[in-house]
A and B are shown apart, each in its own frame.
Chain A
């Protein structure tokens, strides 16, 4: 081997030139990117990729959303229709729910303007409105369709029109910050084969469970039992029906009194007629039980309605009917709409306003319901022709009218987590002990109440 020619040898036998060349070549691009980013220089530029039309009206708008089966008709059928009707192109992107929540929030807080419209889950409204992530639709002059069912519409107001308020917003006038586009609300799904008439009360459901169920072939009830948000959704229709509240008007917990305890005991009473592993059940398992024909009834949001008559997903085609969630004193389903806000940094505000007005107009909503979707206007949901084709539509309208909103605060998910963990552990205990339900319910509900009170006190805004 001959020596390399370079005379500039360091003591270890390599050449500085060689090393520098190689190292710099590799590091150049990264240094620039990394250093510059770390220094935070440069002008702000829009993010998001996929332009948003500028200026006053026309051009295009950018809508971002989380992926969900309910958004499929929206994306595939209605965005093109919007272009046909108004000439404005709606660019749509969707991603996983958790990611979209983060990204839309960061986009809004930074006012990056990557989107014009955020499709939101309704419990994001308090945070997005209070945090200035979405703009006030009232101040933008958006005209609200009066036919939109009121309780669905109310979800978009901040501060809320009814219910407890955060201290900082105690005296503010409610303004509309987000407009509902899908009325996702809880309903009772029941299998006609086992009910001689539509069940109206929890006693009705219980009696069928007791007399007709035959575990493990047929169960009388199927809930979501996973700790946190899922089991709270199971509990709310019960709690509301028994006259309790998630949070009272002064933010004190309303579920550890006699009403809340009775509601939880009612859930426990179904234990002999439910699978023993429900502490792990989420929507997928819960609805699978119904769709496979192994369950007489359950409460769930509207998302599963389509599946009941789809032979690729259901073995009980044409057998499932819908009603309001069962009463005890009242029927009180929880409501969780898909709701749209206009981004704080939106580039085409006029186009966005136009879109929201267009989508919630009577004609478009009727079209939307025409595909079986949970429209938001009374005329669409209660249309007799559509109702005979999709029997869940009128049930959705009734459910919305009866619905009870969840407490409006950015801390609501934390409250759900605390209550949901306690409920789950109560359920696990009740299933293993099979008795002493009252004490189990009392102790866990009190624990959750204490934890929630402590947390709210720590936050200092109640």
Chain B
């Protein structure tokens, strides 16, 4: 009996938390379907007079389609490359004792890269990309984001890999695997939850980056979703309707990605296979 009450409490609590978490999101969807005069006309939980105007204006007047494509391309490539580079480096830092105290200093170093405030980055990066003709290009953004992402991929994967006991790889290598193939066949699957978490975080951080994309791009040819959203913040006014629509559309790729990746959080699938 108490197990049942316990369960109801658990699910009830989770439901309440989910409600609080999702409410602002619902508010955004709600706002995106209202005319400006209704947005300020009073509090309603659903739009009494729904309109698709905000969405159509988003794609026609505000070129949102281009922003979406740019974001998806830039994020995909830079995350894939940075996850590769970063995981390799993290593996090295987690498994090998390195000279010059690199195990610690490399971690701190990569963290410092992450800590550099955007404000300090934008002007020098602008100058750099300008010299190489990479301003307002997707490639320019990809290069920058790859560098920046690698820092926390190293940071995060290092700890996830360290959690995995060495014996498992060593068992595989005794069986004849080279270290790299042990890494690929054994460590990576075990680190799947960590990889998934790191991937989601990388994707979100890159996708939502604002300051850097803002400064390094100037037309829909390369501008990303957050930059597009910010053009809705005028000199003195915010266009709430299209902004809300932008928020909704902008979140969709990330949610899809999260849905695809979240199954890797399930434990047991991976450990069992190795055993």
Contact = CB atoms under 8 A, between A and B. Distances in A.
A314 B41 CA distance: 10
A432 interface: no
Contact of A47 (B35, B136, B178, B227): B136
Contact of B179 (A13, A23, A112, A292): A13
Contacts of B232: 67
Given A26-B81, A47-B135, A96-B233, A14 B218 contact: no
Contacts of A388: none
Interface stretch (A29-37, A394-402, A422-430): A29-37
A283 interface: yes
B130 A96 contact: no
B180 A18 contact: yes
B176 A3 contact: yes
Interface in A259-296: 282-284, 287-288, 291-292
Interface of B: 35-37, 40-41, 53, 81, 84-85, 88, 122-123, 126-133, 135-137, 143, 146-147, 173, 175-181, 214-215, 217-219, 221-223, 227, 230-238, 240
B37 A97 contact: no
Contacts, number: 153
Interface stretch (A38-46, A135-143, A158-166, A203-211): A38-46
Contacts of B131: 37, 40-45
Contact of A49 (B84, B126, B218): B218
Contact of A66 (B135, B235, B238): B235
Contact of A312 (B35, B129, B147, B222): B35
B221 A26 contact: no
Contacts of B222: 49
B16 to A, nearest CB: 29
Contacts of B238: 284
A292 to B, nearest CB: 6
B34 to A, nearest CB: 10
Contacts of A14: 178-180
Given A15-B178, A33-B132, A102-B215, A97 B235 contact: yes
Contacts of A312: 35-37, 53
Contacts of A69: 234, 237
Given A48-B218, A313-B36, A13 B231 contact: no
A284 B178 CA distance: 63
A19 B214 CA distance: 37
14 contacts: A14-B179, A18-B180, A22-B180, A40-B128, A41-B131, A46-B133, A64-B218, A93-B219, A96-B231, A103-B215, A106-B123, A114-B130, A114-B135, A311-B37
